[in-house]
Amino acid sequence: MNIAVSILTSNYDEEETIERINKTDASELHVDVMDGHFVSNKTSFKHLEKSKKKLDIHLMVSRPFEYISRYALFKNAEYIVIHVELEDNLEDLLSYIKSRGLKCGLAINPNTPISQLNPYLELIDEVLMMSVEPGLGAQKMLDNVEDRLLELVDIRNKGYNFRIVVDGGVNDQTINRVKMADVVVSGSFICKSEDYQKQLDQLRLSKDEKKC
């Protein structure tokens, strides 16, 4: 399991937060982009080019085309993920992400049936399973996470190649609940601390201890 770090909630400004993440062995930087419409909050980022980690860009926006164009310009961008709940033509948007040389993914909210992903499973490189309601950091992981994650794993085992990422409420008390994921996203547990690497180490230790 890899651990991505979200910079949505931090004790430090964006630039210092990114610099601190650079000094850790986190697998990637998770970037939560919000437009104030798809979700109530709004975010903007000015220092993503300073990241030495690959970017997994999560677009919580109602009109993703312009955001895809903007974030695809970052040389360290690897994935751009849009929401399956959008009313846009998702196939066109996923194809556009691919045309920009990036991997594409779909995020799915906690109350959206996993089956809504079915038409797109052959097109995507990532499923971002939200384990909290999107739009706010430092939320508690919801109760239905394990069942939904198992459903996704079972679907992938039928011959698909997408990675599974879980985002929301991941800390040293909950990480064992999502150990089937390929990547977990942790935000406030890491970025509201003084020692980012120590928190990453604690996540891995907690998962391994509870395995036995």
By annotation, the residues acting in catalysis are 32, 167
Judge whether 141 and 118 are in contact, CB under 8 Å: no
Helix, strand or coil for residue 15? helix
Q: Which amino acid belongs to residue 139?
A: Q
Judge whether 17 and 7 are in contact, CB under 8 Å: yes
Half-sphere exposure of 98 (CA within 13 A, CB side): 12
Burial category of 66 from C-beta neighbours within 10 Å (exposed 0-12, middle 13-18, buried 19 and up): exposed
Q: What are phi and psi of 132, to 5 degrees?
A: -145, 170
Judge whether 141 and 170 are in contact, CB under 8 Å: yes
**β-strand partners of 168:** none
d(CA 136, CA 110): 14
Give CB contacts under 8 A, 24+ apart, made by 10-13.
10/187, 10/188, 10/191, 10/192, 11/191, 11/192, 11/193, 11/194, 12/191
